[in-house]
Each structure stands twice: as structure tokens, then as C-alpha cells.
């Protein structure tokens, strides 16, 4: 296009003479309604600079029957209020340098960022905001965050910055928190270094200074260092607790509690519960199994079999300090009711067989039972001579006692 053949679209230029440089089309002071008189499509190819559209640009009408309204080929630069900004939308504001703001009434505040969506905004923050009504708010010193979703909010109001992430409709994340899910929230400001993680619809961590974790729809943590994983899993006001499983709960201000299993509920301190539907048995009780988790065998070590299994030790907490007394150990067999035979305790060992890789079978070496028969002991031992388990008996033969110099008393023996 030669300079002697300028192009004027609309009302032309208020002052001066229209001009072109090469294929650059300079378009100024256009009333969009005037363009409707042009046939079919309105195409501007090449580099196009639009400097002064007339009012009410949003009312630009499409031409009836046209497949496209405006095509701009070769790139589009839309300048905002700041340097190197992109600002698109009625009343959109790109005030900070290098910001991108797209959407009616969207605004970037005074920090660099990307803001997309009707009413989306960031205030005193730098970050990414996407979604109608989404926002990032920060302290005067500036903070960063990401808020994605309708009305999602990454609010970094603590001192020293933010770095929070909120994804989901109405998701709310405070300083250094990660919140993912519709209506998920971390509602109390944290100190630096104690961030929360919230994942799931309506999941919530409502504690500051605490590094809480809530994962699962409607899961909730209300205490420091709590971990709730599972739909509707919840932790009350006690600290350092873990609840895993659908509707697993730890209630009250108890501490040091671990609950794993669907529907299991604990309210006592120091409790460990593993099993679906487990019921709290009291302070300091470790429970393995529950009404919905029938545990009949416990295998500890290197799986069911291993080529060279190590020796094993099962022990309990020892005493410490000067002349400290250790507690005793009590083993309780399953208890019967009424006049039914009590449960017993059986100790088994392997029985040697011929050379080979066939696993040995286990046989009883000793039993403890609950017999109430007079003169009986509650101890039964295996004897190699008979190859059977027999009850240990007592004898009161005075001559034997005198011979042995034992005086009055009883002598234990196993019948031959």
C-alpha cells in the first residue's frame, strides 16, 4: 500500500492527515456501529494498531450471515495502564507492569500477575487468578499465590508473604496453604513454615500454626498437626492426631491418637485403632481388628516365608533412671462368658522332617488353660516319650518328699 493511498475507516482521524507505512493500517476514532454498513466480513490483515475506538465497543453488532466479525492476522497488542501489559475487558485494569488482565472489572492491583475472569482481582499480591470473582489478597509487602475457580481465594495476609494455592469453586487458601476442591478451605492464618494441605470438596483445616492435612470430601481438621484422610474423616481439638478412613473420627481434645478404618471413632488419649468400625476401648489401648475387620493371624517379619529369616524379639518398654521398677507383662486369653470353657494360650514350635524345602508343620509345645478341676494344674507340656501334650500333675507322697528333703509340699511331674 502506497502512502498516497491512505485508508480511513469510520470517522477518520480528528487531527492531521491519515497515513500508512507499508502494510500497517492505522485505525483511529472508530464508532463500531459505522462498520456494520460494510459488506459481510470486516477483516484487518497484517499488523494492526487500534488506538481510539468510540464508546460502547461491547455493543459492536455482528453482520447477519457473516461467519466471522473481525479477524486480526499477525498478532494483537492491547496496552493496559502499566508497561508491557495486556488489558482486555470493560473496566479491566492492568496497573502493574508485565501484567495480563482479561475480563470485565478484572484488576491486578499493584503487583505483576495474570488475572482472568469477570471481577477477578489480586490486591497487593503477585500471582495467577483465573475465574469469575477469584482473588488473591496479600500484605503490603507483597505475596504470591494462585487462585483458580469461581470465587476461589488465595489470601496471604500474614507477614512475610504467601505462596498459597486455591483451586476450585469458592476454595479458600491462607498463607502457604494448598487447597484443592470446591468449597474447600483453610480458614485460619498460619505462621510461616506451618502450611496446611486441603484436598476435596468442602474439606477444611481450621487451625493456624499447624501443618494440618485434610484429604477427602468433607474431611476436617481443627487442631495442630492433624491428618484426616477420607470422606468425612474428622479430627477434633486435640493435637498430633491421625484419622484415616471414610468417617473415621477423633473427637475431643485427646492427643497422640491414630485411627485407621472406615467408621472407627476414638475419644481417649493415646489410642491406636486399626480396623473398620473399631470402637474406643479406653486410654492407651492399641486395637488391631474390629467388627468389620476380622484379624485371625498376625505375621511379623519378612512376609510369610523368607530364605533366611532373622531371629525375632518381641519386647516392651524397659525402665530407665535410678532403681526404676518396670511393670509386669500380662497375657490374657480370649474370655468366655458364664460357665463356658475358658479360652487357653498355646505355644507351638516346628516339627523337624526329612531333608528338603518342604515347610515344617507347627505342633503344640505348651498350653495354659483355665481348668477348675481340683488337684489339676493349668499347665500342659509336650513330652517326646509319649508324643503327646499332657497336663502337669502334682504328687504328695510323703516318703518321696522326705527322701528329697523337701519337707511338706507338692512335687510336679508329667505322667509317663
- Based on the fold, state whether residues 185 and 94 are members of the same structural domain: yes
**What pLDDT does 25 receive?**
45
Q: Higher model confidence: residue 144 or residue 359?
A: 359
- Answer with the one of 271, 295, 319 that is the final residue of a domain: 295
Domain boundary among 13, 46, 77: 77
**What integer is the mean pLDDT of 301-326?**
94
Has residue 325 been placed in a domain? no
Classify 398 as helix, strand or coil.
helix
Which pLDDT score, from 0 to 100, does residue 264 have? Answer: 96
Q: According to the model, what pLDDT value does residue 225 have?
A: 87
Tell me whether residue 260 is in a domain.
yes
Residue 316 located in a structural domain: no
Asked whether residue 107 falls in the same domain as residue 190, the answer is yes
Question: Is the pLDDT at 325 greater than 50, yes or no?
Answer: yes
Residues 133, 42 share a domain: no
182 within domain boundaries: yes
pLDDT tens digit sequence for 85-97: 888 888 888 888 8
Task: Report CA 367 to chain centroid distance, whole Å.
Answer: 48
CB 124 within 8 A of CB 109: yes
Residue 161 predicted with pLDDT over 80: no
Q: Does 99 score more than 90 pLDDT?
A: no
155 and 179 inside one domain = yes
SS3 of residue 371 by DSSP: coil
Domain-embedded: residue 220 = yes
- Residue 186's CB is within 10 A of a number of other CB atoms, namely 33
Helix (H) or strand (E) holding 42: strand 42-45
125 and 185 in a single domain? The answer is yes
Strand partners, 363: 349
Helix or strand holding residue 178 (H, E): strand 178-180
Quote the pLDDT of residue 141: 44
Which domain range does residue 379 map to?
A: 362-413
Q: Which residue has the cell 518398654?
A: 317
Asked whether residue 68 falls in the same domain as residue 98, the answer is no
pLDDT classification of 209: cutoffs 50, 70, 90: low
We report the CATH number of the domain holding residue 133 as: 2.150.10
Which of 50-54, 83-87, 131-135, 349-353 shows the lowest per-residue confidence on average (mean pLDDT)?
50-54
Residue 49 lies in a domain: yes
Report whether 303 contacts 297 (CB < 8 A): no
* Residue at a domain's end among 194, 223, 254: 194
Q: For residue 249, what pLDDT is reported?
A: 97
Is residue 172 located within the same domain as residue 121?
yes
Cell of 191: 505462621
Say if 45 falls within a structural domain.
Answer: yes
Do 283 and 371 belong together in one domain? no
Q: How far apart are CA 416 and CA 409, in angstroms?
A: 22
Distance CA 209, CA 212 (A): 9
Distance (Å, whole) CA 313 – CA 288 = 20
Distance CA 175, CA 162 (A): 5
Q: In this structure, are 255 and 275 located in the same domain?
A: yes
Average of per-residue pLDDT values in the chain: 78
Would you say residue 23 has pLDDT above 60?
Answer: no
Give the total number of structural domains in the chain: 4
pLDDT (tens digit, 9 = 90+) per residue, 331-343?
999 999 999 989 9
d(CA 214, CA 155): 19
Q: If you ran DSSP here, which 8-state letter would residue 217 be given?
A: T
pLDDT of amino acid 24: 44
Do 156 and 113 sit in the same domain of this protein? yes
Q: Are 142 and 125 in contact (CB under 8 A)?
A: yes
Residues 288 and 216 in one domain: yes
Q: What is the pLDDT of residues 46-74, one digit of tens each?
A: 444 444 443 333 444 444 444 444 544 44
Decide if 332 is inside a domain. no
Same domain for 233 and 280, yes or no, is: yes
239-260 residue pLDDT tens: 999 999 999 999 999 999 999 9
Name the band, by pLDDT with cuts 50, 70 and 90, for residue 121. confident
Would you say residue 191 has pLDDT above 80? no
CA dist., res. 28 & res. 49, Å (int): 9
SS3 34: helix
Amino acid at each position: 500500500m502506497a502512502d498516497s493511498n491512505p485508508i480511513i475507516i469510520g470517522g477518520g482521524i480528528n487531527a492531521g492527515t491519515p497515513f500508512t507505512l507499508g502494510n500497517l493500517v492505522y485505525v483511529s476514532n472508530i464508532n463500531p456501529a459505522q462498520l456494520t454498513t460494510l459488506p459481510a466480513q470486516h477483516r484487518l490483515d497484517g499488523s494492526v494498531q487500534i488506538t481510539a475506538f468510540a464508546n460502547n465497543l461491547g455493543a459492536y453488532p455482528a453482520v447477519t450471515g457473516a461467519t466471522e466479525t473481525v479477524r486480526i492476522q499477525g498478532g494483537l497488542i492491547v496496552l493496559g495502564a502499566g508497561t508491557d501489559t495486556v488489558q482486555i475487558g470493560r473496566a479491566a485494569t492492568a496497573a502493574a507492569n508485565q501484567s495480563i488482565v482479561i475480563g470485565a472489572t478484572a484488576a491486578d492491583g499493584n503487583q505483576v500477575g495474570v488475572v482472568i475472569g469477570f471481577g477477578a482481582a489480586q490486591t497487593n499480591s503477585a500471582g495467577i487468578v483465573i475465574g469469575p470473582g477469584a482473588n488473591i489478597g496479600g500484605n503490603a509487602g507483597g505475596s504470591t499465590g494462585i487462585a483458580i475457580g469461581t470465587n476461589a481465594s488465595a489470601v496471604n495476609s500474614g507477614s512475610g508473604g504467601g505462596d498459597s494455592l486455591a483451586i476450585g469453586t469458592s476454595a479458600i487458601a491462607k498463607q502457604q496453604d494448598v487447597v484443592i476442591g470446591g468449597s474447600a478451605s483453610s480458614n485460619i492464618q498460619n505462621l510461616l513454615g506451618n502450611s496446611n494441605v486441603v484436598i476435596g470438596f468442602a474439606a477444611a483445616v481450621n487451625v493456624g500454626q499447624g501443618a494440618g492435612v485434610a484429604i477427602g470430601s468433607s474431611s476436617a481438621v481443627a487442631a495442630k498437626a492433624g491428618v484426616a484422610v477420607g470422606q468425612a474423616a474428622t479430627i477434633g481439638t486435640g493435637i498430633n492426631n491421625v484419622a484415616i478412613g471414610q468417617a473415621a473420627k477423633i473427637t475431643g481434645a485427646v492427643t497422640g491418637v491414630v485411627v485407621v478404618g472406615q467408621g472407627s471413632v476414638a475419644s481417649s488419649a493415646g489410642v491406636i485403632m486399626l480396623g473398620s468400625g473399631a470402637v474406643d476401648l479406653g486410654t492407651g489401648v492399641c486395637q488391631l481388628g474390629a467388627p468389620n475387620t476380622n484379624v485371625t493371624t498376625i505375621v511379623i517379619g519378612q512376609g510369610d516365608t523368607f530364605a533366611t529369616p532373622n531371629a525375632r524379639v518381641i519386647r516392651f518398654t524397659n525402665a530407665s533412671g535410678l532403681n526404676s521398677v518396670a511393670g509386669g507383662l500380662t497375657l490374657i486369653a480370649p474370655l468366655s462368658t458364664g460357665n463356658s470353657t475358658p479360652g487357653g494360650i498355646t505355644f507351638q514350635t516346628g516339627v523337624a522332617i526329612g531333608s528338603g524345602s518342604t515347610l515344617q508343620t507347627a505342633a503344640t509345645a505348651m498350653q495354659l488353660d483355665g481348668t477348675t478341676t481340683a488337684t489339676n494344674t493349668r499347665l500342659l507340656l509336650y513330652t517326646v516319650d509319649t508324643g503327646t501334650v499332657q497336663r502337669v500333675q502334682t504328687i504328695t507322697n510323703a516318703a518321696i518328699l522326705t527322701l528329697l528333703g523337701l519337707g511338706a509340699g507338692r512335687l510336679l511331674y508329667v505322667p509317663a
